[in-house]
């Protein structure tokens, strides 16, 4: 005949399993100092080296355009009214190749924080190419021109399973 484990033995086994699970989760980066597991909202999935460029929405009657004209800048950057996913672009909107980063993907961009993929671009092809929206008008154009084209490491973020505890 098999012996049944006592209630206190089962509780001890369960507590041991919870402690082991908690230490694994804490070591994996899922939990941040001072936060419970239920408050963690995203997990870094991967880091990618990308070439980042910056785009803006031109206004009519600017004194300066990247291409020399309003129409040229609209052809290059879009008019800033709607992204490919149907949203109005905001600072931090990313354009990416949808074959590699799907719309609504969150990407941590150094100096800009969390940015969301919501657009595509004519020259944005492949996994290692992103374009970041920096605003509207001449001020945004100056920012885009100043930042130019740079290589950086970005972090692709995905939502974590919430409510495990």
- pLDDT of 11 reads 43
> pLDDT > 90: what percent of the chain?
52
Same domain, 35 and 66: no
Q: What is the 3-state secondary structure (H, E, C) of 99-140?
A: CCCCCCCEEEECCCEEEEEEECCCCCCCCCEEEEEEEEHHHH
| pLDDT at residue 6 in the model | 54
How confident is the model at residue 159, as a pLDDT? 59
The tens digit of pLDDT for each residue in 37-52 reads 444 456 778 899 999 9
Q: What is the mean pLDDT of the chain?
A: 78
Determine the pLDDT at residue 45: 82
How is residue 70 written in tokens?
A: 């309003």
147 and 68, same domain (yes or no): yes
Instruction: Please tell me whether residues 55 and 136 are part of one structural domain.
Output: yes
- The per-residue pLDDT for range 59-111, each reduced to its tens digit, is 999 999 999 999 999 999 888 888 988 899 999 999 999 999 989 899 999 99
Q: What is the rounded (10 degree) CA torsion for 147, 70, 78, 91?
A: 40
Q: Are residues 35 and 49 in the same domain?
A: no
Residue range(s) defining the domain that contains residue 152? 42-159
Residue 92 shares a structural domain with residue 152: yes
Q: What pLDDT, on a 0 to 100 scale, did the predictor assign at position 4?
A: 54
Residue 1 lies in a domain: no
Smallest Cα–Cα separation from 124: which of 45, 17, 50, 49?
A: 50
Per the domain annotation, does 165 fall within a domain? no
Which CA distances in Å does 140 have to 45, 49, 76, 79, 133?
A: 31, 25, 14, 13, 9
Task: Specify if 135 maps to a domain.
Answer: yes
- pLDDT number for residue 130: 96
Domain assignment of residue 58, yes or no: yes
**Domain of residue 60, CATH code:** 2.40.40.10
> What is the arithmetic mean of pLDDT over 11-37?
42
Query: Does the predicted model carry a pTM greater than 0.75?
Result: no
Tally: H helices and E strands in the chain: 3, 6
Q: Do 146 and 110 have their domain in common?
A: yes
With residue 156 as reference, give the H or E element that holds it. strand 149-159
Q: How many domains does the chain have?
A: 2
The CA distance from 78 to 142, in Å, is 17
Neighbouring CB atoms inside 10 A of 156's CB total: 18
């Amino acid at each position: 005949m098999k012996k049944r484990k006592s209630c206190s033995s089962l509780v001890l086994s369960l507590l041991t399993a919870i402690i082991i699970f908690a230490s694994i989760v804490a070591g994996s980066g899922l939990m941040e100092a001072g936060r419970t597991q239920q408050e963690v909202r995203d997990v870094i999935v991967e880091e990618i080296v990308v070439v980042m460029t910056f785009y803006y929405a031109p206004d009519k009657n600017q004194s300066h355009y990247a291409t020399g004209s309003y129409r040229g800048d609209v052809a290059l950057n879009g008019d800033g009214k709607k992204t490919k996913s149907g949203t109005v672009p905001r600072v931090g909107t990313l354009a990416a190749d949808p074959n590699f980063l799907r719309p609504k993907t969150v990407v941590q961009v150094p100096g800009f924080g969390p940015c969301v993929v919501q657009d595509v671009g004519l020259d944005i092809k492949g996994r290692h190419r992103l374009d970041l929206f920096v605003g509207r008008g001449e001020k945004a154009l100056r920012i885009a021109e100043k930042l130019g084209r740079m290589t950086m490491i970005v972090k692709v973020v995905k939502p974590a399973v919430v409510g495990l505890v």
